[in-house]
Structure 1
Amino acid sequence: MSNPVYGKKAIASRNGQKLPIALWLLIIGLIIFMVWAPFQAGLFNGLVSTFEKPIYWAVILGSLLLLVGIFAFFNKFKLEDQRDWTAIAVLLLPITYVLALITAASHFYATNAVLIQCLYAFIFIIGLYLLQNKQANSIIETSMITVGYLTILFGLLNWLGQGRLASSIVGWFTPTVINGQYNQAVWIDSNGPRLASVFQYPNTYAAFLMAFFFVAIFAITRSKKWYGQAIHAFALVPIVLSILLTLSRGGLMFLPVVFIVLLLFLKPAKQVLWILYCLIAGVGTLLIAKPVTELGQQFHLGQIGDPAKGWFYVLGASLITAVLACLIQRYVAPRLESSMSKLTEKKFSNLWLPIGSVVAVGLLIALFLGTNLKHILPGNIGERLENINLQQHSVLERLTFYKDAAKVVKDYPIIGAGGGAWASIYEKYQNNPYTSRQAHSFFMQYLVEVGLLGFIIFMAFILFIFYKYIRGYMRSEEHERDSYFVYFIVVFSILIHSMMDFNMSYVFIGILVFLGLGGMVAAMDNQPVKRFALKPGNVRVIYSGVLVVTSVVLIFTSIRYIQANDAVIKGRELMTTSNDFNEIKAPLDQALDKRSDLPDAVLNMNALLQAGYEQTQDESFFTVDYDLLISALKKEPYDKNLYNQLIILHQKKGSNNQAYEVLKDNADRYAWDMGWYEKLIAQSFELGYQSLGEQDAEKKVYYFKSGMDAYQHVVDGVEHLKTLPAGQFQGNPFYITTSMTLNAGKIQFMLNNPAEAAEILKQGITEDLSEATNQEIIRWYLAALQKTGTNDQPLYDQYIQIDPTAKDAIDQLAQMTF
């Protein structure tokens, strides 16, 4: 690899080489970015408004870094080889998200996704050119590994009860520290405490840990200095321990898969060392896993723990591992290298140990799952392993997500439903009433968002980079391979795990992946592309101009979005402290002016206008609020909160038929929302009863039929849920409520179908005869029976005994005609 000079002005580095000032600015900026980003839990994918600001700040920082990069790399933009053309190709990724805006299910989410994809493209371009410089590559790689180790330390500090100490260190630059504690660094769910560190989601943390576990092993075998070997070996036990503490079954399942694939890239001697270090780290972790797990559980379940005791175990096992690694690298590694040199020269020599590892991993899995060996693990970890099978809830639920995602793709096949579409649209397509704003597969979610066109472009981009990197890796010398293999490990590990989870929804993870892809391209088997060659001067101007304009637009757009977000927060605060309508309205107007598709701004303005209308009955409040909601729904056609506010607005005005239309027109979008159908059935009955009083038979039948259709939808849904596999949870409650039963029974009664009415009403009767709704159901039920010439004498006698006056009410109902 060459070490190009990117500019005339440069400063001396420690080894005498000179790096341009622009490159130092890029290096320092990327390091700051990598230190800041993981502690911004808000660097999620922008599906929640409170997570927005860190994304916009990240886009601003990424854009500024790109502007510096354009200055530093201007002379490199020639489009003379495949490497340069990947810098062009990466721009197709955000372009596909821009195209998806045309059919976006949510303009708000889709716009955020465009910004995020632009950030990824910028990071890729910076990485592609910056990491070609050996010294810059070394600094960035070291910084990435350091950030990984600090993240692991932060997680263990939280696990061992020192979360406030850890949070005090990072609290000054992250909003995720709440009341002195980093929010959800340790999850508490039905499985007990689960370590999540900075990610607030254990499964993504497991993917991150898996990547850096293999990075640490690789770094041990590559390091020439004993202290470098010791540092990386010292991290092994904390990493494996943290993987166990996440209780991530996916992490444990993918770990051996990634391990075996990575072995294929190594010489037999290195393969033996990798296997040896895995065994040492595994044994060292198992020896301390139970006491460390129990100490963490004690603390997070409200008991008193001893952090010093926990750290004694962790540091002791880590120190022993570090000493062993140094000894192995000093005495064993050279002998392995020499003794296996002949084997290395043989064809396919690097296949034997990976094949043997497959067998060994299979035996270990069988032992842990089928014998008492699992009892050497802490109880909750052993239970999680024991429950790994294809019929467990998490597997079945993920398969359901993927099938439902395929339904979305069928409706949005070419350019997709836009960024963040799954979160907006999944309720329309879901098979059962689960709640998941993520499809739990990066690839399926990507397909939903940008359709077949965007997905094909993305996969072609990724596969081309992998192909060229692997080809170059096989042809290069070992020292050249080692310079960029860390990036391959990180990218491959995260993408493989992302097949069954939403790791890439974390922008920090996405940044690592695209920086890693840039590193892989910097080292790939590069070839000239003469047939596409253009005049270098023109190329530089056009390409740089496009990047500069895009960066500037994104900077100003992100600033506006930050201002809009701050204005909403200010308006929300004024709602609790001020009674001045205009004072509260001013920042909300500002927010909507800065970003008209901001749902939080719309909902807060709606609350203010509804309060004004309710207090004054001034029609202008209603008109402005109505127009605001309708305008917002054009951009957010699946936003249930907006629809609910529109229904409330109609009801406050007394326009129940308009409220009904909103409920009916959007019922298919919320097929498993029990509350939505309960309101629809009730509204259908009320309007049908009103039409009955107005002697409008046509409208009566229309509304009553609509109510019965909604009721039948719920009945069919309840029956469908009975067909779910035994291991799969249905998700949210979904059943026929007493209100549904009463209104559906009344509808059938008033449609002169007493037998059908009685059948429905009977299902809603409970043992509590003193409850008001139950009494009403009983009255209509007994009246329906009278109409059919039958009775339920035991129930009748029991009810009349409680309420003697009910006899006349039942008789009157039975005599009514409609």
Structure 2
Amino acid sequence: MSNQVYGKKAAASRNGNKLSVANWLLMFGIVILMIWAPFQAGLFNGLLLQFDRPIFWSVIIGSVLLLIWLAAYYKKIKLEDQRDWTAVFVILLPITYLISLISAASHYFAMNMLFIQCLYAIMFIIGLYLMQNKQANRFVETTTITAAYIIVMFGLLNWLGQGRTASAIVGWFSGTVYEGQYHQAVWIDANGPRLASVFQYPNTYAAFLMAFFFVAVFAITRSSKWYVQAIHAFMLVPMALSILLTLSRGGLVFLPIVFIVLLLFLKPAKQLLWILYCLIAGIGTLLIAKPVTNLGQQFHQGLINDPAKGWGYVLIVSVIVAALAWVIQRFLAPKLEQRLGGLSERKLSNLWLPVSSVVAVVILAAVFLGTNAKHILPGNIGERLENINFQQHSVLERLTFYKDAVKVMKDYPVIGAGGGAWASLYEKYQNNPYLSRQAHSFVMQYLVEVGILGFVVFLAFILFIFYKYIKSYIRSSEERRESYFIYFILVFSLLIHSMMDFNMSYVYIGILVFLGLAGMSAAMDNKPVKRLALKASTARGLYGAVTVVASLILIFTSIRYIQANDEVSRGRELMSTSTNFQEIKAPLERALQKRANQPDAVLNLHVLMKAGYEQTQDESFYNESYKLLTNALKKEPFNKSIYNQLMALHQLKGESEQVYAILRDNADKYAWDMNWYDQLISQSYELGYQALGQGAIAEKEKYFKTGLDAYAHVSAGVEHLKTLPPGQFQGGEFYITPQMTLSAGKMQFMMNEPEQAAIILKNGLTEDLNDTTMRDIAVWYLAALQKSGASDQPVYDQLIQIAPAEKDTIDQLAKLQF
């Protein structure tokens, strides 16, 4: 039996044109996720407490849908062909995250990511079977595109000053609306306002817009209905304009790359139409880009608010583009198909226009980057284009992230460091004190989380689907190609941009990608897998059992995690409104019962216990708090907040040795935390000085060596930062504080090395000796010089003039023997 015949029979046997009630429930569930999920800040990846609740609600919805899917497709599960086994293959992705729990840097983050990966697998399985039905496929496609268009219009409403109106519409179901405004729908940074819409991050929004811009272009050329063509054409200018308003250089760089690759899949006639629509949309966008940009900037700078004018520009040009699209599809498109139909049959005929497009893109880039043509664009957009090069800070910073990710991978090579590992570990491996809880590359972040094993599994999964889809695309009829090409556009566009950004950290983007992969898989040529074939009853039993057990575990665990999240929020609220200790304590304890060692619950309950100990000096409060923190650190060994609270607890009882041990033993985890090293140096000095007073010379040497090593680390770090490329930002502050200088100088002095002490102290000395710490540095500096037989008369004269009594102090210090 040929593969083609087998595929047709399989399709006929599985997918009637009629949809069952279960299928409609599945489609309704997808609608809910497509509309609800993006307005939960795109469903970020659970690195913050605020994202936990919507993520686990999504998992619950997905798990319920999986049970409905099992009921609908149970009799059709055979595990006989490649498509069936692809649905099994996808389960390996969450399994690799489950394995990575063994070495997880954060159990909390890793569990969140495990559940997210389960959600992706669920969406893939449901989509794979559902979208083999033509009607269901069209429904899912329409829902996905409609949700995207809503997001685009929501973004423009926020840009043009109608954010409160837009937020009021979604506020009843969105947890991201604060005080009547969707949080960070418009970013404000050094470049000015940047449109971010529901994602709160302009670069991810640019990737999203790029994908759906090409989806809209394709939808115009595919549809035979004038009103459908008009709707998609109408949205071209809002999407192209929004891409410019994100100020995303990555979006502008990847846009032509994705466009050229997609052209390779089209016949010459369709290629010409794509180019024509992109030109029309581009020209229309450029005509209104400056006034619409200026109106948005003026509103967000508090100057004027004239949304009607802005919408006038957008709507008029969009209507014109829609009308032109109708004319082109009505009159020009048929003629192109007729005249170029023969050309389509020739080999490599679809290469000419993509190759020409490469040349055109290069010429346009040279014109915009090298001439005054960039002034056609709004000023801030033109400046961003002008700064596209490999030496500007965002490129250099990303390269640094990737190099640091490789360092992490060397320590966690095979199974990775668990979901969310980058956020937990990056401070230990970073090259400079940047602040980024994302590696800005899906590939690098995936490697960090699940290691080589997990990445190979993921890569094999992706490449298999792409290979099978492209092979099927080449062999399929025009109608079948067009039925699933939208999914290829989405997956390719989002994944290619994710190579240099963290788009896949948004669960909504991940859902889009895995639904897209399911659509591509539904289109693949299907072959029986004889070696792996199982009896139908065995296949159903195994798959059904795994599905039911997994779904129930996900549902009940997600419910507990949501309850834990709610209890933490309740406890926080009570801490600011109630004075009843037991009332505040109860929800926090319930949170920990439902999710052990949940970091936010641990920290809040600790604060409560610590306050109880401070007020009553009851040891039970101290012991309970100590146990709480130390148990949490077993699961969260890189959580700096927990370490800081543990040190604060020890300080209440004057347990300086324990504080010193925490600072010393974990210093390598926070290599660029200036405050951590400031504390370590000061604590080393204090304990060493106490040991000296007790005559414990060996102890003194131990403490002082730790402190001086820490000072050397800071000094080396300061020198290293001077070697950063000119275009790269340093990140957070990192310098030698006066207190570090004083403590290190004293330790070196008391180690009977006055020459070295003088060098340290002089390096931290400034001309202003009115500051108490700086005056102390001067005293010890002059004493170190005197002890080593040298002097610094200008500093001495300045100090004695301000504080004459310090003369005796210097003499006394110089005579001390240690």
TM over 0.5: yes
Equivalent residue runs for 1:471-550 within 5 Å: 471-550=471-550
Letter of the 1:123 partner, please give it.
M
Deviations 1:78-136 (A, max 9, x none): 01100000000000000000000000000000000110000000000000000000001
- The answer on 1:793 being equivalent to 2:793 is yes
Cross-structure match for 1:261: 261
CA distance in 2 between partners of 1:115 and 1:76 (Å): 27
Deviations 1:178-213 (A, max 9, x none): 111000000000000000000000000000000000
Letter of the 2:35 partner, please give it.
V
- The answer on 1:418 being equivalent to 2:393 is no
CA distance in 1 between partners of 2:79 and 2:197 (Å): 42
Q: What SS does the corresponding residue of 1:744 show, helix, strand or coil?
A: helix
Cross-structure match for 2:660: 660
The alpha-carbon deviation at position 597 of structure 1 amounts to: 2.5
Q: What SS does the corresponding residue of 1:439 show, helix, strand or coil?
A: coil
CA distance in 1 between partners of 2:392 and 2:166 (Å): 36
Check the 8 A contact 1:3/1:134 in 2, yes or no.
no
Check the 8 A contact 1:688/1:700 in 2, yes or no.
yes
Listed as ranges, the gaps of 5+ residues in structure 2 are: 1-7
Cross-structure match for 1:452: 452
Deviations 1:619-651 (A, max 9, x none): 221111111111100000000001111111111
The alpha-carbon deviation at position 755 of structure 1 amounts to: 1.1
Deviations 1:306-341 (A, max 9, x none): 111101110111011001110000111111111111
Cross-structure match for 1:703: 703
Equivalent residue runs for 1:391-470 within 5 Å: 391-470=391-470
Cross-structure match for 2:113: 113
CA distance in 2 between partners of 1:360 and 1:694 (Å): 80
Cross-structure match for 1:13: none
Report the number of matched residues: 810
Deviations 1:484-521 (A, max 9, x none): 11111001100000000000000000000001111111
Check the 8 A contact 2:42/2:509 in 1, yes or no.
no
Check the 8 A contact 1:27/1:136 in 2, yes or no.
yes
Cross-structure match for 2:5: none
The alpha-carbon deviation at position 305 of structure 1 amounts to: 2.4
- The answer on 1:70 being equivalent to 2:48 is no
CA distance in 1 between partners of 2:21 and 2:580 (Å): 53
Check the 8 A contact 1:220/1:233 in 2, yes or no.
yes
Q: What SS does the corresponding residue of 2:19 show, helix, strand or coil?
A: strand
Cross-structure match for 2:283: 283
Check the 8 A contact 1:42/1:51 in 2, yes or no.
no
Letter of the 2:501 partner, please give it.
D
Deviations 1:512-541 (A, max 9, x none): 000111111111111111121111011111
The alpha-carbon deviation at position 42 of structure 1 amounts to: 6.3
- The answer on 1:565 being equivalent to 2:561 is no
Letter of the 1:742 partner, please give it.
L
Deviations 1:672-696 (A, max 9, x none): 1011001000000000000000000
Cross-structure match for 2:583: 583
* Of 69-78 and 180-189, the range deviating more from structure 2: 69-78
Q: Which segments of structure 1 move beyond 3 Å, counting only runs of 4 or more?
A: 1-7
Q: What SS does the corresponding residue of 1:193 show, helix, strand or coil?
A: strand
CA distance in 1 between partners of 2:456 and 2:159 (Å): 42
- The answer on 1:247 being equivalent to 2:225 is no
Deviations 1:442-466 (A, max 9, x none): 0110011000000000000000000
The alpha-carbon deviation at position 4 of structure 1 amounts to: 5.5
The alpha-carbon deviation at position 59 of structure 1 amounts to: 0.3
* Of 138-147 and 784-793, the range deviating more from structure 2: 784-793
Q: What SS does the corresponding residue of 1:701 show, helix, strand or coil?
A: helix
TM-score of the pair, normalised by structure 1? 0.98
The alpha-carbon deviation at position 230 of structure 1 amounts to: 0.5
Q: What SS does the corresponding residue of 1:188 show, helix, strand or coil?
A: strand
Deviations 1:322-369 (A, max 9, x none): 011100001111111111112111101001110111111011111110
Check the 8 A contact 2:42/2:199 in 1, yes or no.
no
Cross-structure match for 2:733: 733
Deviations 1:719-741 (A, max 9, x none): 11111111111111111110100
- Residue identity over aligned pairs, in percent, reads 70
Cross-structure match for 2:678: 678
Q: What SS does the corresponding residue of 2:193 show, helix, strand or coil?
A: strand
Q: What SS does the corresponding residue of 1:717 show, helix, strand or coil?
A: helix
Letter of the 2:587 partner, please give it.
P
The alpha-carbon deviation at position 281 of structure 1 amounts to: 0.5
CA distance in 2 between partners of 1:632 and 1:490 (Å): 41
Cross-structure match for 2:806: 806
Check the 8 A contact 2:290/2:378 in 1, yes or no.
yes
CA distance in 1 between partners of 2:193 and 2:13 (Å): 51
Deviations 1:272-304 (A, max 9, x none): 000000100000000000000000000111111
- The answer on 1:767 being equivalent to 2:767 is yes
- The answer on 1:353 being equivalent to 2:353 is yes
- The answer on 1:386 being equivalent to 2:386 is yes
Deviations 1:429-454 (A, max 9, x none): 11111110000000110011000000
CA distance in 2 between partners of 1:4 and 1:812 (Å): 99
Check the 8 A contact 1:5/1:19 in 2, yes or no.
no
The alpha-carbon deviation at position 18 of structure 1 amounts to: 3.1
Letter of the 1:288 partner, please give it.
I
Check the 8 A contact 1:6/1:72 in 2, yes or no.
no
CA distance in 2 between partners of 1:212 and 1:578 (Å): 49
Letter of the 1:420 partner, please give it.
G
CA distance in 1 between partners of 2:118 and 2:100 (Å): 14
Cross-structure match for 2:181: 181
CA distance in 1 between partners of 2:13 and 2:190 (Å): 56
Letter of the 2:62 partner, please give it.
G
CA distance in 2 between partners of 1:753 and 1:480 (Å): 82
CA distance in 1 between partners of 2:75 and 2:263 (Å): 39
Cross-structure match for 1:274: 274
Q: What SS does the corresponding residue of 2:440 show, helix, strand or coil?
A: coil
Letter of the 1:171 partner, please give it.
G
CA distance in 2 between partners of 1:500 and 1:594 (Å): 37
* Of 748-757 and 214-223, the range deviating more from structure 2: 748-757
The alpha-carbon deviation at position 396 of structure 1 amounts to: 0.7
* Of 618-627 and 262-271, the range deviating more from structure 2: 618-627
Cross-structure match for 2:138: 138
Cross-structure match for 1:208: 208
Letter of the 1:255 partner, please give it.
L
CA distance in 1 between partners of 2:704 and 2:86 (Å): 61
Q: What SS does the corresponding residue of 1:409 show, helix, strand or coil?
A: helix
CA distance in 1 between partners of 2:14 and 2:572 (Å): 49
Check the 8 A contact 1:687/1:703 in 2, yes or no.
yes
CA distance in 1 between partners of 2:12 and 2:336 (Å): 36
Q: What SS does the corresponding residue of 2:768 show, helix, strand or coil?
A: coil
Deviations 1:202-253 (A, max 9, x none): 0000000000000000000001011111000000000000000000000000
The alpha-carbon deviation at position 570 of structure 1 amounts to: 1.1
CA distance in 1 between partners of 2:683 and 2:41 (Å): 42
Letter of the 2:541 partner, please give it.
V
Letter of the 1:40 partner, please give it.
Q
- The answer on 1:171 being equivalent to 2:168 is no
Cross-structure match for 1:749: 749
Deviations 1:148-204 (A, max 9, x none): 111000000000000011001100000101111000000000000000000000000
Cross-structure match for 1:152: 152
Q: What SS does the corresponding residue of 1:194 show, helix, strand or coil?
A: strand
Equivalent residue runs for 1:218-229 within 5 Å: 218-229=218-229
CA distance in 2 between partners of 1:101 and 1:269 (Å): 52
Q: What SS does the corresponding residue of 2:123 show, helix, strand or coil?
A: helix
TM-score of the pair, normalised by structure 2? 0.98
Deviations 1:30-61 (A, max 9, x none): 11111101101161000011111000100000
Letter of the 1:301 partner, please give it.
Q
CA distance in 2 between partners of 1:533 and 1:558 (Å): 34
Check the 8 A contact 2:765/2:774 in 1, yes or no.
yes
CA distance in 2 between partners of 1:71 and 1:30 (Å): 17
CA distance in 2 between partners of 1:664 and 1:50 (Å): 33
Cross-structure match for 1:611: 611
CA distance in 2 between partners of 1:585 and 1:288 (Å): 57
Q: What SS does the corresponding residue of 1:161 show, helix, strand or coil?
A: coil
